[in-house]
Amino acid sequence: MRTPHQESVLSRAARILEAFSQEEPALTVSEIARRTGLHVATASRLVGELVAHGFLGRDDDRRVRIGVRLWELAVRASPALSLRDTAMPFMEGVHDVVGHHVQLGVLDGDEVLFLERLSAPNSVINYTRIAGRLPLYASSSGLVLLAHGSADLKQRVLTGSFTACTPATPATPARLRVTLAEVRQQGYAYCPGYVHEEALGVAAAVRGANGRVVAALSVIVPNDPGAQAVVPVVRTAARGVSRALGAPTGKETAEV
């Protein structure tokens, strides 16, 4: 990693944007400097420029937040938006019937990134949030994306490090291989207690116009045997989104 002095302006700006999180959406300039390792004067100057472009906004109390303009630029022309827009009516249908959490995740790097989540009040516990991430091996969405991912991706994950969220998490290469084979064979992931003991995830693949898997549609429900009933609901919805995206017809589990 380059030191701050050799770093480009864009790289430093990126580190400033990365300093914000859902837990800490508002920071002072000195907090930003501390978190990014930038000098206060440098942080202050860059924050000023980012504010001028609307990428950051300043509160009345001078704390700084992510700006609505950044959101607008990111969303306006984002490929994620059209996928999410296409999926929404299907997800709403599932949410009306199943309740709890319905979510849409995509592969980004070696993780699943959630583009959308619909939740009902008093739903079962769920660690997903919009723009949140989970490891591929732990979550039902991640397992679907990994099962249909490239050989390189599988290799990286299988030889990487694992953190078991619960005893049920397939957090060893051997268990993960078996789980991925099941997902590919069944056409969906069924994950009782993999992320949290009280929750169960069911995910199915969404395919784009070229037939490749572009997302996973999933529900999170209480971890009890009644959850089997949601499997056809999730598979049907994922298939519906795929059709709406122009995916070729044919076997759901067929590889491209």
Rule CB under 8 A: say whether 130 interacts with its own copies: yes
Span interacting with its own copies, options 13-21, 138-146, 163-171, 222-230, rule CB under 8 A: 13-21
From candidates 14, 40, 97, 125, binder to its own copies by CB under 8 A: 14
CB 219 within 8 A of CB 98: yes
Q: How far is the CB of 247 from its own copies (least distance, A)?
A: 18
Rule CB under 8 A: say whether 106 interacts with its own copies: yes
Phi/psi at 114 (nearest 5 deg)?
A: -90, 120
Rule CB under 8 A: say whether 174 interacts with its own copies: no
CA dist 28 and 61 (Å) reads 9
Query: Which DSSP state fits 125?
Result: P
Where do the DSSP E strands lie in the chain? 56-58, 64-66, 101-108, 111-119, 133-135, 188-192, 199-207, 213-222
Rule CB under 8 A: say whether 49 interacts with its own copies: yes
Of 110, 55, 80, 102, residue with least CA distance to 234: 102
What does the DSSP assignment read for 12-78? HHHHHHHT--SS---B-HHHHHHHHT--HHHHHHHHHHHHHTTSEEE-TTS-EEE-HHHHHHHHHT-
Span interacting with its own copies, options 60-68, 146-154, 186-194, 199-207, rule CB under 8 A: 60-68
Span interacting with its own copies, options 62-70, 173-181, 187-195, 223-231, rule CB under 8 A: 62-70
> Which residue number, 123 or 236, has a Cβ lying nearer to its own copies?
123
Q: Provide the binding-site residues for its own copies, judged by CB under 8 A.
A: 8-11, 13-14, 17-18, 20-22, 24-25, 46, 49-50, 53, 55, 57, 65-66, 68-81, 85, 88-89, 92, 95-96, 106, 108, 113, 118, 120-121, 130-132
